[in-house]
Amino acid sequence: MACFFRRRVALQLAEVCGLSEDVFIPLISAVPVSKKQSAADLCVSVKRLLQNGAVAAGGDLQSKTQALANQMKRDAVVEEVSAGRGVILFRLNKLILAQKLLEQLRSEPDVFGVKSELLHHLQGGRTLVEFSSPNIAKKFHAGHLRSTIIGNFIANLKKALGKEVIRVNYLGDWGMQFGLLGAGFERFGSQEKLRTQPLEHLFEVYVQVNREAERDESVRSAAAEFFRRLEQNEDQALALWRQFREITVDEYKRIYQRLGVHFDHYSGEAFHHHQTQNVLDVLMSQGLLKTTEKGTAVVDLSEAGDMSSYATLVRSDGTSLYITRDVAAALDRKQRFGFDEMIYVTDKSQTVHFQQLFHILQTMGHQWTERCVHVAFGLVQGMSTRRGEVVFLEDVLEEARSRMLNNMRQSSSERKYFLITLLPVDIGDVQTVIVFYSVLMFIKCVCQDFRGPLMSDYKFDWDKVLQAHGDTGVFLQYTHARLCSLLRRHASETHSCCDVSPLVDSRSVSVLQHLLRYDEVLLQSANELQPRHLVIFLMTLSHLAASAHRELPVKGSSAAVAQARLCLFSAVRSVLANGMRILGITPVEKM
């Protein structure tokens, strides 16, 4: 509905500047509530008008701003136009603002914001998001957890914007480590343990065999032999490998479910390993693959063609590498899924890898590589549990659970009291489990992570993560649950249409003005593929809702006032819930 108002302002601008209205739509933005000195709702920067050729260059910016503001017409919707510092400010009729916003939120709560004109160019098409992608028998480290949360957010956001989304988990399920693992398992593996504690057992075997391989040549050659058997598709070796993979995938599926994350495809390096020869043949026929003196095969990535930068695709022993399999995987995905864009989410240590990957694909003549993106994020330091360094995702979940229980036991606040009563040591209640896991999903999103740029590293701190006060996931849940409870209590008084005239007080207006920004926030999040814009928006919305809840009572107010306020609270609840779902948090109705 923000578009309705943007259109009205665009109309005024078009008349004065003599260009089509559409030019102005993306240039108009809602004034953030925190920055409001005036009662303006929308604004347009004169610098941006200049950049877009809507006004002629030259002259003093401020007098230009003033002159433009003076020329604009006022009408029933745009009540006042004034000049700020380099911006033209538009004040909307507050009753119409309330009416339009609440009307839309009542009739189509789920599409609010996402169907905005501002986002039209982002709608439609198919997006492949590859995220999480842990390695079999190795640690599921903090980077994998971060990739899971960020990738899930990106997939949810794209979906909300109307794209067809394919979620892919690309497992590290091939390579020399499987030679070691296979040889190790043949020595000290246990089928029994593999069934009961698959991830732990595989890791244990892997660590042990690595240790032995360091000092024992025979272990090394057994590993090389096992890997050779794998590469030659030998039945017995493959059966064991398949068992490791299947068991691992089943375990991960169970854990992802706890987090509310799902994948459409579990692919992996092994699957594409068989396609690497094909890729090499193509590269060869294109004259792009060069054999070096060392016997490796490389692709020259330098501008000057002097091999000052290159990628190795074949080792001297003839085996393929991580990047070779990635080239094969990208080509295969393009063919199978026909995606319009592909997004990879990993920590920034793989930035060069993806640059090289895209470069190779580009050199092979695949134009669509322009629509491939690597979303990189910084490293997480110091994420450990009481048992030591984090090895398994499940350890993090358990640690969070026990710390949260502990926190809550020690707290006296009413809110935490509620939580304690709901959270027995053995979690049974489904709602509680959801609260807990959505907090966990939000672990790094809010406290330390999602508020800042993804690229910065940060130090993990359990205490900050799990605190229930301040800007945390718990706060969003709490606000949502309170709004639900208010709406439940007054269910009989909530009617479908309402008179918005009681909503002109400053609290209500702030909430409405903030809702006006939602589509812009989604646009920013989608452009940058960064969750922080949405996180900050939802936090502010929760704060505004909390003070509105405090100061705008429903109980004891006249029927008309109560009705209007319930309408407002219901609107806030919808937007909060929609935004939380995009972040990957399931909103709870009770706490």
* Catalytic residue flag (residue 138): yes
Examine residue 460 and tell whether it contacts ligand ARG (CB under 6 A).
no
Percentages of the chain per state (helix, strand, coil), in multiples of 5: 60, 10, 30
Position among 112, 206, 263, 344 found at the interface with ligand ARG (CB under 6 A): 344
Q: Of 29 and 356, which has the nearer Cβ to ligand ARG?
A: 356
Structural tokens at position 501:
């005239």
Q: Of 333 and 517, which has the nearer Cβ to ligand ARG?
A: 333
Examine residue 178 and tell whether it contacts ligand ARG (CB under 6 A).
no
> Could you tell me which of 429, 418, 342 has the C-alpha nearest to residue 166?
342
> Which residue is associated with the tokens 């999480």?
132
* Phi, psi for residue 74 in degrees, rounded to 5: -100, 150
Examine residue 320 and tell whether it contacts ligand ARG (CB under 6 A).
no
Cβ-closest residue to ligand ARG?
172
Position among 29, 116, 133, 472 found at the interface with ligand ARG (CB under 6 A): 133
Examine residue 170 and tell whether it contacts ligand ARG (CB under 6 A).
yes
Residue 125 CB, nearest distance to ligand ARG (Å)? Answer: 21
Residue 161 CB, nearest distance to ligand ARG (Å)? Answer: 24
Position among 251, 326, 395, 520 found at the interface with ligand ARG (CB under 6 A): 326
Q: Of 175 and 473, which has the nearer Cβ to ligand ARG?
A: 175
Examine residue 519 and tell whether it contacts ligand ARG (CB under 6 A).
no
Which burial class, exposed, middle or buried, applies to 559 when counting CB atoms under 10 A from its CB (0-12, 13-18, 19+)?
exposed
Contact region with ligand ARG (CB under 6 A), list: 128-136, 174-182, 206-214, 280-288: 128-136
Examine residue 173 and tell whether it contacts ligand ARG (CB under 6 A).
no
Query: Residue 135: helix, strand or coil by DSSP?
Result: strand
Q: What is the DSSP letter of 32?
A: P
* Catalytic residue flag (residue 141): yes
* Catalytic residue flag (residue 144): yes
Contact region with ligand ARG (CB under 6 A), list: 7-15, 129-137, 307-315, 568-576: 129-137
Q: H/E element holding 455?
A: none
> Could you tell me which of 172, 175, 206, 214 has the C-alpha nearest to residue 189?
206
Q: Of 197 and 350, which has the nearer Cβ to ligand ARG?
A: 350
Q: Of 245 and 514, which has the nearer Cβ to ligand ARG?
A: 245
Q: In what order do the strands lie in the sheet with 87-92?
A: 28-30, 42-45, 87-92, 78-83
Structural tokens at position 213:
């391989």
Examine residue 537 and tell whether it contacts ligand ARG (CB under 6 A).
no
Residue 375 CB, nearest distance to ligand ARG (Å)? Answer: 11
Q: Of 348 and 401, which has the nearer Cβ to ligand ARG?
A: 348
Name residue 127's beta-bridge partners.
165, 341
Q: Residues 64, 115, 139, 141: which is the catalytic one?
A: 141
Strand 42-45 to 28-30 pairing: antiparallel
d(CA 231, CA 525): 43
Name residue 252's beta-bridge partners.
none
Q: How far is CA 458 from the centre of its chain?
A: 18
Residue 378 CB, nearest distance to ligand ARG (Å)? Answer: 15
Q: Residues 144, 273, 416, 549: which is the catalytic one?
A: 144
Q: Of 173 and 519, which has the nearer Cβ to ligand ARG?
A: 173
Examine residue 369 and tell whether it contacts ligand ARG (CB under 6 A).
no
Residue 373 CB, nearest distance to ligand ARG (Å)? Answer: 12
> Could you tell me which of 216, 175, 507 has the C-alpha nearest to residue 324?
175
Size of the site for ligand ARG (CB under 6 A): 9
**Cβ-defined contacts of 300-304 (< 8 Å, 24+):** 301/356, 301/359, 301/360, 301/363
Q: Which residues contact 137 (CB under 8 A, 6 or more apart)?
A: 177, 181, 202, 203, 205, 206, 244, 248
213 neighbors 220 (Cβ within 8 angstroms) = yes
Q: Of 29 and 346, which has the nearer Cβ to ligand ARG?
A: 346
Examine residue 135 and tell whether it contacts ligand ARG (CB under 6 A).
yes
206 neighbors 136 (Cβ within 8 angstroms) = no
Examine residue 172 and tell whether it contacts ligand ARG (CB under 6 A).
yes
Chain positions contacting ligand ARG, by CB under 6 A: 130, 133-135, 170, 172, 326, 344, 346
Active site residues: 138, 141, 144
